[in-house]
Chain A
Amino acid sequence: MTFDINVLIGQWPAILSGAGVTIMIWIIGTIAAAIIGFLMAVARQYGGILVDKVLGAIVAVLRGTPFLIQIFLVYYGGPFIGLELDPVPAGLIGISIYGAAYFSEIFRSGFRAVPKGHIEAGECVGLTRGQIIRRILLPEMTMLVLPPCVNMTVILMKETAVLSIITVPELTATLSAIGSQQYAFVEALSALALFYWVLVEVTGWLGNLAETKLSRFRFFNA
């Protein structure tokens, strides 16, 4: 077995573009997932029992089925209900919805951990619901939801690799293609594994840093 990394160096423009697509989908997808997840958590908190039940069922389905099946539904099933999407938007929608289900659960447990008295005190002094969310719920739960949020961000980074299966031109697809064209699977896939590994480790490290920096927001005595 030979290991010749030069095979990859000649392909650097394609690899760079693949890495760009991976990172782009990861960042946009994670931000969208967090926003949708937060709105879902707020809706479940304040939207009444019907909204809570419906969203709860959707979350259960999204968390109980594989991401790959969800992606197939969006990409191959979409056209049958008039939703024809290119791979990249389909991937973005898939990852946002999948992530939103998990983020909504994280935020929901964050909401529940804020002492009821704080919210009642806010209501007493006449804060509106928006103000209570922005000024009491959000800052108080920041430290609590930060570690699971970083965790979810890392999970979504890794899930972007699955999008290669619906031909999103991200790094996994790019490097697998180079591997098969050049008969250099092991080189290409090792480089691929290294890329994700470094990115995941760096994200985890940044998360720890953020946790340390934000520790002044610690309201809960763990």
Chain B
Amino acid sequence: MSIELFGLLVQASIYTVTISFVSIFIGFAIAILISGMLLTGRSLFVRPAQFFISFFRGVPLLVQLLLIYNLLPAVGLNVPSIVAAIIGLSLCTAAYQAENLRGGFASVPLGLVESAEMVGLTPRQIFRRIKVPIALRLTFPALVNEAILILKASSLVSVVGIVELTRMAQDLAGSTFLPLQIFASAGLIYLVINWVVALAGGLIESRLPGVAR
């Protein structure tokens, strides 16, 4: 296998990384909304949020992608397939991240909240200055984990025709008859990306201010 083929794979992996991180950030925004709905405790908000989480965690991502890819045109929305792919990945990761955030908020030590009440902070201040920073600190490792899961899951958007790393590998394997080398190289690239993400995550985590370790 030549260096040019490997170069093509590396180029395609830029799409993989871009799609994954855009989806992670959009998913995070949706997750804040969903976990906020769960936190209200009113069934009017909690039920739809639970439904959302249950659906996107209970259905394979591939099926979600196929559904979104085919559903949008059926209701008259003709979006490029890259948009459909990012919508699919974002909604899926939002469901998992919302669960993580809920867990993070639930494990904010009660004593900290009570002492904040004692010194006279308003509920809004407590939320903004005590709960949010601590919950984010607690859920950061899960967020890194989720980033790695989405980087791997993004291989599935190849089925809706987006030429990211997996699709490029598939195309090259078909045209060069070197599937073993090409898929192994693609695997290696995923491995390196995930390793870098895990490493960077660990580094950032050790520098986050907040909860004593």
Report which A residues bind B (CB closer than 8 A).
1, 60-61, 64-70, 72-73, 76-77, 80-81, 158-162, 164-165, 172, 176, 179, 185-186, 189-190, 192-193, 196-197, 200-201
Given A72-B183, A158-B61, A161-B62, 18 extra CB contacts under 8 A: A1-B76, A61-B187, A65-B152, A66-B156, A67-B155, A68-B158, A72-B166, A72-B170, A76-B180, A77-B183, A159-B60, A162-B62, A172-B66, A186-B67, A186-B71, A189-B66, A192-B63, A196-B60
CA distance A74 to B19 in the complex (A): 26
CA distance A134 to B65 in the complex (A): 44
Among the interface residues A60, A65, A158, A190, which one has the most CB atoms of the partner chain B within 10 A? Answer: A65
* CB-based contact B187/A189 at 8 Å: no
Shortest Cβ-Cβ A-B pairs, 8 listed: A66-B155, A161-B60, A77-B180, A185-B70, A76-B179, A158-B60, A200-B58, A65-B187
CA distance A64 to B156 in the complex (A): 15
* CB-based contact A64/B62 at 8 Å: no
- Contact A201 to B58, CB < 8 A, known contacts A69-B183, A69-B187, A176-B66: yes
Q: Does B54 contact A (CB under 8 A)?
A: yes
A contacts with B: majority SS: helix
Q: A72 to chain B: which residues have CB within 8 Å?
A: 166, 169-170, 173, 179, 183
Q: A68 to chain B: which residues have CB within 8 Å?
A: 155-156, 158, 166
Could you count the A-B residue pairs with CB atoms below 8 Å apart for me: how many are there?
115
Instruction: Point out the residue from B55, B62, B66, B70 that lies within 8 Å of A197, measured CB to CB.
Output: B55
Among the interface residues A69, A158, A162, A176, which one has the most CB atoms of the partner chain B within 10 A? Answer: A69
What is the chain B residue whose CB lies nearest that of A160? B60
Q: B74 to chain A: which residues have CB within 8 Å?
A: 1, 185-186
Q: Does B3 contact A (CB under 8 A)?
A: no
* CB-based contact A193/B170 at 8 Å: no
What is the chain B residue whose CB lies nearest that of A81? B180
Among the interface residues B54, B60, B155, B156, which one has the most CB atoms of the partner chain A within 10 A? Answer: B60
- Contact A76 to B61, CB < 8 A, known contacts A65-B190, A185-B70, A201-B54: no
